[in-house]
Structure 1
């Protein structure tokens, strides 16, 4: 007999068992509902794109992470797997914008692939849930992005989050004032590593990779390390550029001030948004607002929702000006955090159904299925156990899968038009008229799980 192949997964890839996949689908549906509530419409793009579409858009470092795909004859690299959903969207918009019109608001959900080292909450294959507005430079769209993120985490029942915002305009303004604007790409890539490698190593990398002096690198870090309340940070930055004709920095400061004012007006909780001038985002295509979202109870896992403004990305594919702004929820990193934090959505249940109808008599299968249909018609997901095993075995199955309600009906119950309903959590059983079953089950499910 041939040797069995070990049923393993590739490093950086993972399986999703039902107890994780069920809350994962709930996250996706929640994000979909929030995005649609703001008027974002769904689109989809292929998993693979031409290499000239993908490469060079996020920078040299992101190019190294692109999985390249050879043709069926293995002759050459024909395409690459998308490393995010933003670049494919820019290509999509450039191709279809005349039919779509502007501004165009879209959301998209799907897997992306990056050939990076796996770690806590970091995978080589993971899902993103993106939302973007393209075709406008209005600060209203930047502000809306932050409002969407706030609503998203409220809907995910994760209130302890911090949305850290910055503007590439402010960072670029500083570089202009230092006479090193032409070094922006390597400098901001290095700055993006501040939390990972620390101040001294960032300065060393800036000197080495960007060719700036240690003094210039220290001035960039000094801005990034500005601390205090949002008002303190904005005041400090405003004073830094006071009396200086620096349109980039002035515009960046103004846009952040407007964002904070609108957020406060709409009831975003105080402290939810924090101006953090160290946020740089490693991808080269960002031009204005940039943000990252951290879980206050698990900050070490990194940002779980990030994004910003990219005004020039689509210009690589069309002469039409298509500025854009948006954000991306990292579903799998968020799910890993929710597992670690024991989020209430991760109940351990391995079934999406709430009710199990136990089978006592094979001759009554039609009756059981009729009861199940009545419950499903009332919006209650219901399963009928397939075999007439001992009741103990069926209850054991129900408890292991995570059903909340068991329905029992034998010949005597059928004769009297009743069923027994068992709350599997409270371990309580009651007999109810069959006609009232749906209402009784709905009431039980509305209680604590």
Structure 2
């Protein structure tokens, strides 16, 4: 019987026949479709995909070390779910359409809104506080630029069901541990509290204008202060109030100095007082947890443009590429799930922008570009010992090493050239003479250093020696 899908699109075979004539014209006379991708969408070749997978593995390990568990949600949601608590800007970026059933649907533009729906729908089963992580693709129809695409992956973690300041602190600690585990040495986590901004707006009599003010302030760094002032003026905010807002957003320096400068601007209001005290406690807790001084800074210009943030907000930057934008952002959103449930479900979390991070690492020349996921390339050039090669490869894999064996017996030099191009850390060479002598040659592909292993037919000895060589390569040997 023919396999399912065999000769798909061609007439079926008739009983008693062995072949059919392909009704399509010869391939040389066909008009070929140009293989291409949409603007803002990309293919990921093995080097980039492996680098991405490596960071995802690190993120999973860090998230789980704090007790977060994985979930997944559909790529498509009812449109009203996605548009209920975003902003005009995110609504414009939505990929939306009417499905075959006549329903208005959209593709998720982040993982936070689907989380709010998920929590409202399942919190009775999950219990609170609920700590989850979610790694998935999202879509936004926005302008493309360096590190910004229309299809990209987010790596979120969130704590749902508590207003505890400890959950806020833990969020910042996870971000710090995650970026450190990725291997970043020079990065800064910038924090603010939306209540500080609410406090100054209350003092200025602009509490009812918070949405337009916060969106304008969020453009600082991309738009000049004069440009932001002009936008504020366009919303009817007078020059004196605009000057106070820009003064607040421009504060920088040591944490104690920034906190002191915030007092006259926002400390006289209840929300401002709460925000300032929360920032001070956050920095104290981070220091107690061992975060280096200066790694976390208070930046009153951090507003986060989305409407649902209510307390702590944070953004993280590569010190060498600040113009790249934030690589890990988030904050507290105590009212997010209110659109979907009457149960109060406060939350706090952050998201790693893995595609932007990869773009930054590539620009800095720190992106590993291997084309293989294997640790060891097993050279196969003596067909008479095929069974021995298979036995050795299986033993290495059982010991936790990833092994790729050449598909065909070819010249050693030819196979080593392939191993070098693909970026294998080690190549293991065992020919007829080596099998007879009970030896093997283990070659470190980057340094070209070779070690002769005496294993005398004992595969366990060979495996142990290869493990030592692999550890040496990992240590920079």
Instruction: Give the TM-score category using the shorter length.
Output: over 0.9
Alpha-carbon distance in 2 for matches of 1:177, 1:336 = 42
The Cα of 1:433 is off from its aligned counterpart by 2.9
Where does residue 287 of structure 1 map in the other structure?
Answer: 310
Provide closer, same or farther for how the CA distance between residues 241 and 301 of structure 1 changes in structure 2, counting only shifts above 3 A: closer
Residue aligned with 2:93, SS = coil
Which segment is superposed worse, 352-361 or 165-174?
352-361
Q: Are 2:384 and 1:363 equivalent residues in the alignment?
A: yes
Where does residue 67 of structure 1 map in the other structure?
Answer: 95
Alpha-carbon distance in 2 for matches of 1:170, 1:430 = 63
Residue aligned with 1:64, SS = helix
Query: Does the CA-based 8 Å contact 1:68-1:77 persist in structure 2?
Result: no
Equivalences for residues 79-118 of structure 1 within 5 A: 79-118=105-144
Q: Are 2:446 and 1:425 equivalent residues in the alignment?
A: yes
Deviations 1:18-76 (Å, cap 9, x if unpaired)?
11111110100101100110111111111111100001422111100111133237xx5
Where does residue 355 of structure 2 map in the other structure?
Answer: 332
Alpha-carbon distance in 2 for matches of 1:195, 1:232 = 22
Q: Are 2:226 and 1:205 equivalent residues in the alignment?
A: no
Report the count of equivalent residues: 442
Q: Are 2:145 and 1:122 equivalent residues in the alignment?
A: no
Where does residue 239 of structure 1 map in the other structure?
Answer: 264
Query: Does the CA-based 8 Å contact 2:51-2:369 persist in structure 1?
Result: no
Aligned pair partner of 1:5 in 4, 21, 33: 33
Provide the TM-score with structure 2 as the length reference.
0.90
Q: Are 2:438 and 1:439 equivalent residues in the alignment?
A: no
Alpha-carbon distance in 1 for matches of 2:443, 2:347 = 54
Which segment is superposed worse, 432-441 or 14-23?
432-441
Q: Are 2:248 and 1:223 equivalent residues in the alignment?
A: yes
The Cα of 1:369 is off from its aligned counterpart by 1.0
Higher relative contact order (CA 8 A, sep 6+): 1
The Cα of 1:241 is off from its aligned counterpart by 4.2
Query: Does the CA-based 8 Å contact 2:78-2:103 persist in structure 1?
Result: no
Residue aligned with 1:164, SS = strand
The Cα of 1:83 is off from its aligned counterpart by 0.6
Where does residue 375 of structure 1 map in the other structure?
Answer: 396
Provide closer, same or farther for how the CA distance between residues 429 and 240 of structure 1 changes in structure 2, counting only shifts above 3 A: closer
Equivalences for residues 260-409 of structure 1 within 5 A: 260-343=283-366, 346-409=367-430
Where does residue 54 of structure 1 map in the other structure?
Answer: 82
Query: Does the CA-based 8 Å contact 2:158-2:350 persist in structure 1?
Result: yes
Query: Does the CA-based 8 Å contact 1:56-1:63 persist in structure 2?
Result: no
The Cα of 1:200 is off from its aligned counterpart by 1.2
The Cα of 1:342 is off from its aligned counterpart by 1.5
Where does residue 31 of structure 1 map in the other structure?
Answer: 59
Alpha-carbon distance in 2 for matches of 1:284, 1:241 = 20
Where does residue 413 of structure 1 map in the other structure?
Answer: 434
Where does residue 256 of structure 1 map in the other structure?
Answer: 279
Alpha-carbon distance in 2 for matches of 1:408, 1:227 = 59
Query: Does the CA-based 8 Å contact 2:248-2:265 persist in structure 1?
Result: no
Alpha-carbon distance in 2 for matches of 1:353, 1:211 = 62
Deviations 1:253-309 (Å, cap 9, x if unpaired)?
111111000001111011100100000101111001001000001111000000000
The Cα of 1:151 is off from its aligned counterpart by 0.6
The Cα of 1:411 is off from its aligned counterpart by 2.3
Structure 1 residues without counterparts, runs of 5 or longer: none
Residue aligned with 2:136, SS = strand
Q: Give the RMSD, CA atoms, in angstroms.
A: 1.4
